[in-house]
């Protein structure tokens, strides 16, 4: 008897819990009204990584343009930006405020491995739509919780493999070295180079790491010189990349630099001067000045926020975060829900946007792009070297 009544209580409690859990979904979908879609992001607008905050400004300007065109299916966009100063505790607070108080439909982008890692579980637990956190791919590969995550950001590891193979097979160089930032980003690059060279029966002749706090990389360059490296693969921030290039240019013979796409912005030519000439850099979308559509978008962005003129690549990268999402909204139609959005995203096959080209998602596929192309920088102007180079889809 006692057992039965206890079971009844448990059942009653379970029912109440189920009703409570069902309530929020029965109400309107978070972040969607008949006239508006609310999106948000947290970005480093102050602090050491502030230049990367331009991606958020790019998104903002582009959404402003979309709103001027009347929005999508009668809904305009509200975009809430919060500053996290590149600090995980503040990123967590910002994302939670955006989700719980502002009530955003999704989070667009996010800069910094640590910040993304700090909010990851929260995002998955609360099933928040998340477009392209600008971080390495490892956390997503084999992860069963990424149903609401869509990524159109290259994989550092695969990119590094492509760079190493290109140096050996196309440029015919034998002595490959790596200069990398001592963090997730740099370590992914290092791993890629090691693995690609191992497949060719080789190994890096030098692996030189630096810290974000380092203000001079000439000693690092000397170690590259001692190893008599013919090519250096570079995983660095813009400032450190410029310092490294300037220091490596002093070596005789001067090694060929191949850099991560994160240094594809033409601003590098201004930071590093002639030392950046001849550097080989990948990109995952066409450069401004080489493609009409990209130029048009850049013009749209700069008209709405003139500051973005000096940060063209970063601002356009911001557009690549939001562009596939907008296509998802278009395809989902006027009856927008989170699930109809996901279904619409999964229907995107080999889709060309204004900036991004060849985006494919699908059930079980969240990695939207899997190709890059290489260019050689001459006086800040890219000369295209290769066609698209594909790499495996992993998540």
Partner 1 sequence: MQLIQKYEEEMALVRGWAGWMGVALLAVALLGAPWLLRGYQLYIANIIGIKIIVAIGLNLLVGYTGQISLGHVGFVAIGAYAATHFVTALERAAFFQWLGGPFWVALLVGGASAAVFGVLVGLPALRLEGPYLSIVTLGFGLAVQQILINWPAVSGGRIGLFVPTPRIGPWWLDTDRSLYFLVWTSVVLLSLVAFNLTRSHVGRAFVALRDSDIAAEVTGVNLRYYKTLAFAVSAFYAGFGGALEAYVIQYLEPTMFNLYESIYYLAMVVVGGLGTIPGSMFGATLLSLLQFGLSRAQEYLPVVYGAVVILVMAIEPLGLYGRWLKIKLWSKTWPL
- 3-class DSSP state for residue 171? coil
CB contact at 8 A, 176 and 167? yes
**Alpha carbons 180 and 163: distance in angstroms, whole number:** 14
State the minimum distance, in angstroms, from the CB of residue 99 to partner 1. 8
Selected range binding partner 1 among 38-46, 145-153, 263-271, 319-327, rule: CB under 8 A:
38-46
| 85 scored as a contact of partner 1 (CB under 8 A) | yes
CB nearer partner 1, residue 185 or residue 313: 185
CA distances from 55 to 49, 88, 134, 308, 346 (A): 12, 18, 10, 9, 25
Instruction: Scan residues 115-174 and list those touching partner 1 (CB under 8 A).
Output: 117-118, 121
Selected range binding partner 1 among 97-105, 215-223, 311-319, 334-342, rule: CB under 8 A:
97-105
| 60 scored as a contact of partner 1 (CB under 8 A) | no
The answer for residues whose C-beta is within 8 angstroms of residue 252's C-beta and 6 or more apart is: none
**Alpha carbons 177 and 195: distance in angstroms, whole number:** 13
According to CB under 8 A, which one of 37, 81, 168, 227 is a site residue for partner 1?
Answer: 81
CB nearer partner 1, residue 30 or residue 82: 82
Selected range binding partner 1 among 12-20, 206-214, 231-239, 293-301, rule: CB under 8 A:
206-214
Tokens of 391: 């790499």
**Alpha carbons 225 and 252: distance in angstroms, whole number:** 8
Radius of gyration of the chain (CA): 23
What are the residues facing 179 on neighbouring strands?
208, 234
| 219 scored as a contact of partner 1 (CB under 8 A) | no
| 47 scored as a contact of partner 1 (CB under 8 A) | yes
CB nearer partner 1, residue 175 or residue 191: 191
Query: How many CB atoms neighbour CB 180 within 10 A?
Result: 25
**Alpha carbons 331 and 314: distance in angstroms, whole number:** 27
* Torsion angles phi and psi, residue 178, rounded to 5: -125, 130
| 82 scored as a contact of partner 1 (CB under 8 A) | yes
Interface mask toward partner 1 for 164-183; x: CB under 8 A: ------------------xx
CA distances from 345 to 240, 305, 332, 350 (A): 37, 29, 8, 12
| 314 scored as a contact of partner 1 (CB under 8 A) | no
| 94 scored as a contact of partner 1 (CB under 8 A) | yes
| 53 scored as a contact of partner 1 (CB under 8 A) | yes
According to CB under 8 A, which one of 93, 202, 302, 343 is a site residue for partner 1?
Answer: 93
CB nearer partner 1, residue 97 or residue 207: 97
The answer for residues whose C-beta is within 8 angstroms of residue 184's C-beta and 6 or more apart is: 113, 135, 136, 138
According to CB under 8 A, which one of 113, 158, 262, 375 is a site residue for partner 1?
Answer: 113
Interface residues toward partner 1, by CB under 8 A: 42, 45-47, 50, 53, 81-90, 92-94, 96-97, 99-101, 113-114, 117-118, 121, 182-184, 187, 211-213
């Amino acid at each position: 008897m006692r057992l039965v009544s206890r079971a009844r209580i448990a059942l009653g409690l379970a029912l109440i819990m189920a009703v409570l859990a069902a309530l929020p979904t029965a109400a309107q979908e978070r972040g969607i009204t008949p006239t508006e879609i609310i999106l948000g992001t947290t970005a480093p607008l102050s602090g050491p990584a502030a230049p990367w905050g331009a991606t958020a400004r790019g998104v903002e300007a582009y959404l402003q343009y979309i709103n001027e065109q009347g929005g999508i299916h009668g809904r305009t966009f509200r975009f809430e930006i919060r500053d996290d100063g590149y600090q995980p505790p503040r990123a967590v607070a910002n994302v939670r405020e955006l989700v719980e108080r502002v009530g955003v439909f999704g989070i667009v982008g996010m800069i910094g491995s640590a910040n993304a890692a700090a909010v990851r579980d929260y995002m998955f637990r609360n099933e928040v739509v998340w477009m392209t956190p600008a971080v390495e791919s490892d956390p997503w590969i084999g992860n069963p919780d990424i149903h609401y995550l869509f990524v159109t950001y290259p994989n550092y590891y695969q990119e590094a493999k492509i760079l190493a193979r290109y140096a050996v097979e196309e440029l015919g160089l034998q002595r490959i070295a790596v200069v990398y930032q001592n963090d997730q980003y740099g370590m992914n690059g290092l791993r890629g180079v090691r693995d690609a060279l191992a497949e060719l029966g080789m190994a890096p002749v030098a692996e030189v790491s630096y810290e974000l706090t380092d203000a001079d990389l000439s000693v690092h360059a000397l170690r590259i010189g001692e190893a008599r490296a013919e090519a250096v693969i570079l995983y660095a921030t813009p400032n450190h990349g410029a310092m490294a290039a300037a220091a490596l240019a002093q070596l005789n013979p001067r090694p060929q630099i191949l850099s991560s796409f994160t240094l594809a912005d033409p601003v590098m030519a201004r930071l590093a001067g002639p030392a950046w000439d001849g550097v080989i850099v990948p990109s995952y979308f066409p450069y401004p000045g080489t493609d009409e559509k990209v130029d048009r978008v850049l013009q749209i962005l700069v008209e709405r926020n003139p500051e973005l003129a000096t940060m063209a690549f970063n601002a356009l990268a911001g557009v690549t975060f939001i562009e596939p999402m907008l296509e998802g909204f278009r395809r989902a139609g006027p009856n927008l829900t989170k699930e109809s959005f996901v279904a619409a995203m999964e229907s995107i096959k080999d889709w060309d946007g204004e900036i991004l080209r060849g985006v494919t998602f699908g059930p079980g596929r969240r990695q939207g792009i899997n190709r890059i192309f290489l260019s050689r920088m001459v006086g800040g102007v890219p000369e295209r070297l290769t066609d698209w180079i594909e790499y495996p889809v992993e998540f």
